[in-house]
Structure 1
């Protein structure tokens, strides 16, 4: 299987690195200092599961690669449309595009340009950061959940699961990706946003009674909007999962990392989308709106 990785940050670097380490036919689409580092030094992953370095193929010109079988799409949500347009030379009749991005509407944006039959939804459960161009620090987790956007099992999901297994990339197919995407958003919306505003590792949000209560109320809003959007989530189960995951999560969120690096923030894909969906359903989401407003100010300041 011929693979291309678009977006060589922490997610693309780690999972693409696992494939390259295993000997898969994978090429990284990068630019600037990241491209230079990949070409000269290769890709380095410092991981709790074992460090490794691997020489990789990298380019900034998708036309050099031609069509691929699998495109791991790992760019920030605000770059979705522009990145998929640039990747079009790699998209053939049978190409599968697996989105590993934050948010619930990236797959729809990609499908509008390439067709929904080419898109799979995915969620990456990982705590990682970019140490420097071409180097990733992996601290927590490291698993992909993926499946058809419309749900149900499919032969291509089964084949892709077997491919990931072959290269020791932890992944699991799911017939209910809408629920999985919304469940992750129910964590991202409160914890990415609050962590970006208060700093420190994620676990401090749980330790402080005021931020703990704010996170609970934001989560409750997400669950309410999800239910109104046709994706029923059980608040008690979602909140219990959020607490269990966050109370020992001694890592900064990706949004805080972006703020510290002076990059744009994904507040539109995490809190903004909840506000938009709430309006569509005749609801209000005041806690998400407050976080979105504050994050918008931080984004401008950065």
Structure 2
């Protein structure tokens, strides 16, 4: 393995379950520090205790455990990996990470849900390589510093606005992931992957929030199951207006069948956030696709309606007027 990989330094910003797991795998061949908030004391004291069906059980002790990115200002990182919730209505991720971006050679890696999450980062740091990725992983932080991961995982990555230095950064990052036995795939266009994940996320997550039902209960209730299908078709219409060319019937059929097979009585993360009165990723999962559809004059009435409902629930939960 090239010596440069061993010398790589990464900072994970937003180290919950996803950040912990990918930080743990990167630490097999890189120096990994973490920014922790609610779990800071537990992680500082004991590290992360991890149970993983894929990678086994282990303890991840970061090189440094930081309370915020301001504490990272004296260090120089090859990669700043953002695994926070994508909440543009709550905080500005670009300003959040700014103290940790010490040079234009620092690559910024987004491992977040939603659509159009790259735009504010690219605007704030136009000269830094930007790697956008979509994670397919089932993991949760059961208590502070205790992480449980079920099933397999895979990570799909692409450069946003490709550059030559970005190619090198992406290739090196893929090597780091490979050394940690992460299933990683490079694709030329991450936006199609983001739209594809949204077909499921925008429909099931929102309907589960609105009804208070799990995926299995939603599918067992014909009106709710039909609403899921209609929202999926709206997302597909919007995506296809941007050249995605999804087969609507096939996508809807496959996603519902897969949900019935592997997501029995599942509560999407948006539903868990709603139950806990935490901010939901309403804007990036529902609002941005609605706005993208409007830009192309595509009618998405079901998506628009469920966005309104979930936005209202979010505002109520957060005590907004």
Normalising by structure 2, we get a TM-score of 0.85
Question: Relative to structure 1, is the Cα distance of residues 130 and 197 closer, same or farther in structure 2, using a 3 angstrom cutoff?
Answer: farther
- Alignment match of 1:129 (pick from 140, 149, 160): 140
Q: State the Cα distance separating 1:81 from its structure 2 match.
A: 5.7
Say if 2:204 is the partner of 1:191.
yes
CA distance in 1 between partners of 2:127 and 2:272 (Å): 32
Specify the SS of the correspondent of 2:311: helix
Q: State the Cα distance separating 1:26 from its structure 2 match.
A: 0.4
Specify the SS of the correspondent of 2:118: helix
Structure 1 unaligned regions, length at least 5:
none
Specify the SS of the correspondent of 2:49: strand
Q: State the Cα distance separating 1:151 from its structure 2 match.
A: 7.1
Question: Relative to structure 1, is the Cα distance of residues 98 and 164 closer, same or farther in structure 2, using a 3 angstrom cutoff?
Answer: same
* Structure 1, 176-185 or 133-142: larger mean CA deviation: 133-142
User: What is the 5 A alignment of 1:122-201?
Assistant: 122-150=133-161, 154-201=167-214
Specify the SS of the correspondent of 1:106: coil
CA distance in 1 between partners of 2:20 and 2:254 (Å): 27
Structure 2 unaligned regions, length at least 5:
1-7
Residue 39 of structure 1: aligned partner:
44
Residue 29 of structure 1: aligned partner:
35
* Structure 1, 269-278 or 150-159: larger mean CA deviation: 150-159
CA distance in 2 between partners of 1:142 and 1:5 (Å): 18
CA distance in 2 between partners of 1:172 and 1:223 (Å): 23
User: What is the 5 A alignment of 1:61-72?
Assistant: 61-65=68-72, 66-72=75-81
CA distance in 2 between partners of 1:159 and 1:72 (Å): 14
CA distance in 2 between partners of 1:149 and 1:235 (Å): 27
Specify the SS of the correspondent of 2:246: coil
Residue 298 of structure 1: aligned partner:
313
Normalising by structure 1, we get a TM-score of 0.90
CA distance in 2 between partners of 1:252 and 1:16 (Å): 25
Contact residue 128 and residue 140 of structure 1 kept, 8 A? no
- Name which one, 1 or 2, has greater alpha-carbon Rg: 2
User: What is the 5 A alignment of 1:22-101?
Assistant: 22=28, 24-31=30-37, 33-49=38-54, 50-56=56-62, 57-65=64-72, 66-79=75-88, 82-91=92-101, 92-101=103-112
CA distance in 1 between partners of 2:80 and 2:255 (Å): 30
Question: Relative to structure 1, is the Cα distance of residues 292 and 200 closer, same or farther in structure 2, using a 3 angstrom cutoff?
Answer: same
Contact residue 81 and residue 109 of structure 1 kept, 8 A? no
Contact residue 62 and residue 89 of structure 1 kept, 8 A? yes
Q: How many residues align?
A: 300
Say if 2:11 is the partner of 1:4.
yes
Contact residue 67 and residue 89 of structure 1 kept, 8 A? no
Q: State the Cα distance separating 1:25 from its structure 2 match.
A: 0.6
CA distance in 2 between partners of 1:116 and 1:82 (Å): 19
